[in-house]
Amino acid sequence: TIMHLFLLLILHATAAVGQIDPAHCRYALGMEDGRIRDEDITASSQWYETTGPQYARLNREEGEGAWCPQGQLEPSDTQYLQVDLGRLTFLTVVGTQGRYARNSGNEFARAYRLNYSRDSVLWKSWKSRLGKEVIQGNKNAYESVINDLHPPVIARHVRLIPVTKPSTAVCMRVELYGCPWDDGLISYSAPEGQLLMAPGYPVASLNDSTYDGAHERRRLLGGLGQLTDGVVGLDDFLVTRQLQVWLGYDYLGWRNDSLGAPGHVEMDFLFDKQRNFTSMKVHSNNMFSRGVKIFSSVTCWFKPRLIASWEAEPVTFKTVLDDRNPSARYVTVPLRRRAARALRCRFFFADVWMMFSEISFQSGGKPLPSSSCFSLLSVGCVFARLYFLPDPSASGRPDDGNTPILIGCLVTIILLLVIIIFLILWCQYVCKVLEKVDFLSHPDVGQVWVSSGGLLISSLRSPPVASQRAVQDGVLARPSLVSIWMTQPSLSPPTACGGGYAEPDVTQCTPHQGFHGPAPHYAETDIVRLQGVTGSNMYAVPALTVDSLTRKDISAAEFPRQQLVFREKLGEGQFGEVHLCEAEGLPEFLGEGSPLPDGDGCSVLVAVKQLRPDATSQARNDFLKEIKIMSRLNDPNIIRLLCVCVTSDPLCMVTEYMENGDLNMFLSQREMESTLTHANSIPSVSLSDLLHMSVQISSGMKYLASLNFVHRDLATRNCLLDRRLTIKIADFGMSRNLYSSDYYRIQGRAVLPIRWMAWESILLGKFTTASDVWAFGVTLWEIFTLCKEQPYSLLSDEQVIENTGEFFRNQGRQIFLYAPPLCPPSLFELMMRCWSRDIPDRPTFEGLYQALRPHVGP
């Protein structure tokens, strides 16, 4: 298993790096070890066959020991060694060495220049941040000298051009270091950055000083520069990461009123091939005290091929502006898997200034940076590689024979193993909790943690020291450790799900209970039990209320069972089923004040929840409890308990059902009403219908909240509709196979509606009225997308859980649902407020109702 672990580790090390970090992107690219093939190394000339370009490999002694260009090199000569890296590469380091040839050679390059190209046609010469082109090389024939490239370059072809002062013979061996450039971006264009001049402050120059393309009519064209150099800017844009550069160096910035088209900045991005884009990450400054903010929205157009026009339908993303936290952050813009070779994005100003320091693109099946204990391990591994494997400067004067190299390799391997074993032991100490957790690979996500031992994770009551501290600091600095805890509730064992009903604390149900300060308490987390015995969800009600109910009798009347005529099965749970039935004579039975609509005949459609005869006595109790809870509900927008059959087995409860089925079905079969679709055969709904529905749901939820009931599974699939578009909130969703993909499944059982759940419900198992508000926001979103799409449809379940962690960390990396095109902006703002991280920032149902109501006519 050590080998297994080791392999995973290596795999993970390559998968976990989302953004390029120049400090870690320093892998030897294959001159020395031969991964770069002979035919990919060429030269402008060679002196002899035996000093051809294929011998220009660092630390190797083949042929005459190096590549040497023909003759004595004059200062005016341009000879070069060219390497084709086979793919776009982020190049950070160059190592060079002279010709030693077992003490018979003494030629080396004292200095060299570097040219690079992404397409082998257009060559650019490398310049340091201070504008110098010449790089210092070797001082003797045997020592290798490595030079960091500041700035790094993104290229596929590289030329090393030896430079001499007096004319001499020159020979070179080289190695290149870096990592693959998976973004595939080959150029961006943007307006030139500007000077920030404000009275009382130094002048900041927000230009793109390392841009390697052209400057034309105040635009940057055809190159890459600071936005792809892997250096993210600091919170204060006046402070720079490099020394000896000017203020504002790390950022490219624009002022809102000085551009051709005011109000936005337009950037074009060109890629090496067509890609399916999942997202774009823009690292942006947010120093609002100086008038700098992240963009307010961005609209991107796509071009599938180079010779094509921009596709008509753009993707638009609105950000959440943040007036409290001035830190620079990555803003993730979902791009909905659109296929493109080129992108054009308009970033809209939110303030006077907009400043970016990095932009990266995620495409294809590349996972979100997954985080787990293994990231720590892999970082360790990367360090190990850095320090022990490819350290070109450490190679001293080569000896005869291979023995020292062999010994070196062995020592390195042993050291690596020792480190790995140490890391594993350490990890076991820190992550004791993982002892019985299986580690699976998932094609989309990288790795997924799945509980194998059932109760293990959730039964552990105190988190390990390290993560507890991280949690208490309020900053989950290491996503790796903590995300394991985050997925904890979803790992609840299957045995817990059928048991029915968890009695929450009364305090948990108070609306507006603030989530103050730092410490979510994992120790308080309970196994989440949502499902009632018939598989439908159970409302969470304050424990006290239930106790007082126990003393009362069931208020609903007993209905003659033989008058229920079975029509179809709606769903099932562990101990029961939900049937759709016709109830003959029910209106008369209920008599005056019956909540039923005036039916035409004497039979009505009802939903019948029925306990199976083999149910345990615990399940029986739960079922009776559910009846008591249901019998308290009396609101025009909540499904009501009509009657029961409890005098004989099987126990039944009969609730309303509505002929139009559920809102999800209803909307997904409809189109937006427009003047053009009148003749269309597809039925339509109008915007005011949608608003009317939203108001009714908020009204029903307002009622539940007033009783301190927590629904825990609000979604369109749980809203039933009648002919006049009256909505009643129900609780069947969870039991229905039709909607099983909306629930996060553990070992085949539907458990948690994670795409509708607030972060604190997923991470802490906390269900409150405020988490119902969150779900209401998602329900609104469903309504205004006409249920054509599942929320976060681009994310896998595991990624949704990862994203929940981002909601908790709140560093601007969370992915929000996008604004539905039909949705009025004010309404989307309301949705966004429902998804506030802090509970006090979320609206109440009363507030939502008041906000929505005016949108609907009298």
Ligand X SMILES: *[C@@H]1O[C@H](CO)[C@@H](O)[C@H](O)[C@H]1NC(C)=O
DSSP annotation of 54: G
Nearest residue (CB) to ligand X, 80 versus 295: 80
Q: Token pair of 434, please?
A: 């993982």
C-alpha angle 58-59-63 in degrees, rounded to nearest 5: 85
Q: Token pair of 249, please?
A: 């160096």
Read off φ and ψ for residue 528, nearest 5 degrees.
Answer: -85, 120
Q: Token pair of 648, please?
A: 């004989």
Catalytic residue among 713, 731, 742, 772: 713
Could you tell me the smallest distance in angstroms from the CB atom of residue 17 to ligand X? 20
- Burial 609-632, CB ≥16 within 10 A → b, else e: bbbbeebeeebeebbbbbbbbbbb
DSSP 539-580: -B--HHHHHHHHTSPP-SEE--GGGEEEEEEEEE-SSEEEEE
Could you tell me the smallest distance in angstroms from the CB atom of residue 249 to ligand X? 8
Could you tell me the smallest distance in angstroms from the CB atom of residue 292 to ligand X? 11
Could you tell me the smallest distance in angstroms from the CB atom of residue 234 to ligand X? 18
From the number of C-beta atoms within 10 Å of its C-beta (0-12, 13-18, 19+), residue 200 rates as: exposed
> Angle 687-706/769-784 helices, nearest 10 degrees?
170
From the number of C-beta atoms within 10 Å of its C-beta (0-12, 13-18, 19+), residue 75 rates as: exposed
From the number of C-beta atoms within 10 Å of its C-beta (0-12, 13-18, 19+), residue 748 rates as: exposed
C-alpha angle 267-269-272 in degrees, rounded to nearest 5: 175
Question: For residue 719, which of 804, 778, 762, 800 has the smallest C-alpha distance?
Answer: 778
Could you list the residues that contact ligand X (CB under 6 A)?
A: 78, 80, 115, 123-125, 159, 161, 205, 207, 209, 246, 256-257, 262-263, 274-276, 339, 351-352, 364
Nearest residue (CB) to ligand X, 43 versus 630: 43
Could you tell me the smallest distance in angstroms from the CB atom of residue 264 to ligand X? 9
N- to C-terminal Cα separation, the chain: 69
Catalytic site includes residue 713: yes
Say how far apart CA 710 and CA 505 lie, in whole Å: 12
Could you tell me the smallest distance in angstroms from the CB atom of residue 259 to ligand X? 9
Please answer whether residues 636 and 618 qualify as being in contact, where contact means their C-beta atoms are separated by less than 8 angstroms. Answer: no
| Sign for the pseudo-dihedral over CA of 417, 420, 425, 426 | positive
C-alpha angle 8-9-14 in degrees, rounded to nearest 5: 100
Q: Token pair of 689, please?
A: 């219908």
| Sign for the pseudo-dihedral over CA of 57, 61, 64, 65 | positive
| 519 Rama sector, left if φ>0, alpha if ψ -120 to 50, beta otherwise | beta
Could you tell me the smallest distance in angstroms from the CB atom of residue 77 to ligand X? 10
Could you tell me the smallest distance in angstroms from the CB atom of residue 348 to ligand X? 9
Please answer whether residues 554 and 643 qualify as being in contact, where contact means their C-beta atoms are separated by less than 8 angstroms. Answer: no
Place of tokens 């079905």: 665
| Sign for the pseudo-dihedral over CA of 209, 214, 215, 221 | negative
DSSP annotation of 796: -
Could you tell me the smallest distance in angstroms from the CB atom of residue 257 to ligand X? 4
Question: For residue 645, which of 561, 555, 536, 534 has the smallest C-alpha distance?
Answer: 561
Alpha helices for 571-686 (secondary structure H):
586-590, 617-631, 663-668
Could you tell me the smallest distance in angstroms from the CB atom of residue 256 to ligand X? 4
> Angle 617-631/543-550 helices, nearest 10 degrees?
100
| Sign for the pseudo-dihedral over CA of 420, 422, 423, 428 | positive
Nearest residue (CB) to ligand X, 159 versus 385: 159
Q: Token pair of 622, please?
A: 């739960």
Could you tell me the smallest distance in angstroms from the CB atom of residue 129 to ligand X? 10
Say how far apart CA 123 and CA 146 lie, in whole Å: 23
Please answer whether residues 582 and 661 qualify as being in contact, where contact means their C-beta atoms are separated by less than 8 angstroms. Answer: no
Please answer whether residues 130 and 167 qualify as being in contact, where contact means their C-beta atoms are separated by less than 8 angstroms. Answer: no
Nearest residue (CB) to ligand X, 124 versus 478: 124
Could you tell me the smallest distance in angstroms from the CB atom of residue 320 to ligand X? 18
Question: For residue 172, which of 91, 120, 115, 94 has the smallest C-alpha distance?
Answer: 94
Work out the number of other CB atoms within 10 angstroms of the CB of residue 717. 25
Q: Which residues contact 693 (CB under 8 A, 6 or more apart)?
A: 663, 719, 725, 727, 783
Could you tell me the smallest distance in angstroms from the CB atom of residue 160 to ligand X? 10
HSE (side-chain half, CA atoms, 13 Å) at 381: 22
DSSP 740-761: GGGSEEETTEEEE-GGGS-HHH
- Residues serving a catalytic function are 713
